Amino acid sequence: MRSGNGVRLALAAAFTVTLGIAGCGGNSPEELVVGEYGSLTGGDADFGLSTKRGVELAMDDLTARSQGKIGGLPVRIVAEDDQGKPEEAATVVQKLVNQDRVLAVIGEVASSRSIAGGPICQAAGVPMISPSSTNPKVTLIGDYIFRMCFIDPFQGTVMAKFAAQNLKLKQVAILKDVKNEYSIGLTEFFTKAFTGLGGTIVGEQAYSSGDQDFRAQLTAIKAKHPEAIYLPGYYTEAGLIARQARELGIKVPILGGDGWESDQLIGIGGDALEGCYYSNHFAVDNPDPRLQGFLKKHRAKYDNQDPNAIVGLAYDAANVLFGAMETLSKQDPEAFKGLSSSKAGSEARKAATKKIRDLIAATKDYAGVTGVITLDENRNATKPAMVLEIKGGKKVYNTTINP
């Protein structure tokens, strides 16, 4: 992973600069602009690059069905790199809203960065759809903020149930990232659910994002003799922690959340992850025809590679957004007229973004590649979760747990 960062950084920087130049001055009379932000560079760049792939595949579909146009106007995506930093997320969202004058925003993956960018969209009345930020605080920002994924109270309960009922565990230790809202939230919800099912948390240790040495925390955990370790962090640390745990003689399963989902997870953790489990949004070995059709598109476009779930969530997010915009153009053929001459905050733009917001909010039984999606009154997706097992060096479907 680390050896490829230099190339990724250069490519992502070039991509962003090109779009930034094209985007200066906002909408032309001939196009509709949608914003996207994510970590195209930085320590968890796989998150942002995966989101970008999902949006690109949705744009391919739009191009195939309507030459990339909605209401006769071409759609253009402006993607911004927040470098994996909340403060940079706020900066790039300000640019998307005020300079590029986007009609909607897709992003972010990390909850802390969605929490940084969301208030800007909310204040401007611009809909924002996070593909995969699971912390409950994200949609509490306001009624213009949506997500395509389940939320952490459910995800934490999923793994607690799996640990207690499927694996028959009674004693679990926790290793959390204290700088990560996602990790803190999942720790809380897992603990509540697991103890409610009769389990005991025998120890809790902490680290900070970017740490490389976890031996002291793991040694303390080992002394508590847990039957498993719950590790609600990101793939970047999960693989390293698994390796160091095995080096210290810790052989129990390690359990995680969807922050583990990355093409790089097994590359980092290797055999140390064998027999570990994490909650996720889909499994590539699920025979669902919608998912299998999506996998075929992804493999054709990206060198026969399988996508991770973040690609699928971004694909669903972009398609829900495009669908809302297409519906609006049919309901009101004048909805997107006059936007190019309107400054940010104009009545014409506010009217269009409000209608898009309302149509997204009405999403019900949308057949996505990550499951059938219905948005509840808090704009959160109601959908099942899957538990994947790492077996034979692969991520394998284990079970589905419904809401």
How far apart CA 324 and CA 361 sit, in angstroms, is 9
What dihedral do alpha carbons 305, 310, 314, 319 form, nearest 10°?
70
Position 15 scores a pLDDT of 38
- Output DSSP code: residue 272: G
Residue 182 · residue 146 · CB < 8 Å: no
| Low-confidence stretches of the chain (pLDDT beneath 70) | 1-29, 340-345
Task: Give me the amino acid identity at 335.
Answer: A
How far apart CA 28 and CA 157 sit, in angstroms, is 47
Cβ neighbours of residue 266 closer than 8 Å, sequence gap 6 or more: 239, 273, 390, 393, 394, 395
Position 13 scores a pLDDT of 36
How far apart CA 250 and CA 223 sit, in angstroms, is 10
HSE (CB half, 13 Å, CA atoms) of 162?
A: 29
How far apart CA 147 and CA 121 sit, in angstroms, is 14
Query: What's the whole-model pTM score?
Result: 0.83
Q: Which domains does the chain have, with CATH numbers?
A: 2-150+290-383 (3.40.50.2300), 152-280 (3.40.50.2300)
How far apart CA 74 and CA 63 sit, in angstroms, is 9
For 180, 187, 189, 256, the CA distances from 153, given in Å and listed in that order, are: 16, 10, 5, 14
Burial 347-370 (b: 16+ CB within 10 A, else e): ebbeebbebbbebbbebeebebbb
How far apart CA 42 and CA 48 sit, in angstroms, is 9
Token pair listed for 32? 């509709």
Give one DSSP letter per residue of 168-200, joined into a string: ---EEEEEEETT-HHHHHHHHHHHHHHHHTT-E
Closest by alpha carbon to 263, among 394, 127, 126? 394
For 132, 149, 223, 282, 397, the CA distances from 287, given in Å and listed in that order, are: 22, 20, 43, 11, 11
Task: Give me the amino acid identity at 76.
Answer: R
Give one DSSP letter per residue of 112-181, joined into a string: HHHHHHHHHHHHHT--EEESS---THHHHT-TTEEESS--HHHHHHHHHHIIIIIS---EEEEEEETT-H
How far apart CA 142 and CA 124 sit, in angstroms, is 11
Q: Kindly report whether the peptide bond that precedes residue 247 is cis, defined as omega within 30 degrees of 0.
A: no
Position 338 scores a pLDDT of 77
How far apart CA 169 and CA 115 sit, in angstroms, is 34
For 138, 291, 391, the CA distances from 131, given in Å and listed in that order, are: 11, 16, 27
Position 139 scores a pLDDT of 97
CA end-to-end span of the chain, whole Å? 35
Closest by alpha carbon to 174, among 166, 165, 183? 183
For residue range 258-292, list pLDDT tens digits in order. Answer: 999 998 999 999 999 999 999 999 999 988 899 99
HSE (CB half, 13 Å, CA atoms) of 275?
A: 12
HSE (CB half, 13 Å, CA atoms) of 52?
A: 20
How far apart CA 310 and CA 70 sit, in angstroms, is 25
Burial 24-46 (b: 16+ CB within 10 A, else e): eebbeeebbbbbbbbbbbbbbbb
